[in-house]
Amino acid sequence: DVKVTQSSRYLVKRTGEKVFLECVQDMDHENMFWYRQDPGLGLRLIYFSYDVKMKEKGDIPEGYSVSREKKERFSLILESASTNQTSMYLCASSRAGVGSPLHFGNGTRLTVT
């Protein structure tokens, strides 16, 4: 079974702090994604990556950056946390190609106060 592991289940940070969310997958998947999920808005794509050191903006990249130095690890960085970034953050990975589904980590619930 694919395992996608997110480093923290719950995080509480203060406004202005730099926040790192880590994600590791163990199935040698090429693609990795970061989403946030908010009530009534569904899942929204923040950034994704198709390969090491490669990144692409999603629908809502403002206020975020990412890093993929190794194939198995994809980090999401909140440069200066704000209260409107309080959300559930979901990392996912998939094999390259049509028909390969996404596999999600168990999520990080971030609260910015």
Partner 1 sequence: RKEVEQDPGPFNVPEGATVAFNCTYSNSASQSFFWYRQDCRKEPKLLMSVYSSGNEDGRFTAQLNRASQYISLLIRDSKLSDSATYLCVSYTGNQFYFGTGTSLTVIP
Binding site for partner 1 (CB under 8 A): 31, 33, 40-43, 45, 48, 50, 88, 90, 94, 98-107, 109
Amino acid residing at 49: S
Please say which residue, 1 or 16, places its beta carbon nearer to partner 1. 1
Please say which residue, 24 or 105, places its beta carbon nearer to partner 1. 105
CA dist., res. 76 & res. 66, Å (int):
5
CB atoms within 10 A of CB 24: 18
Rounded least distance, CB 4 to partner 1, Å: 9
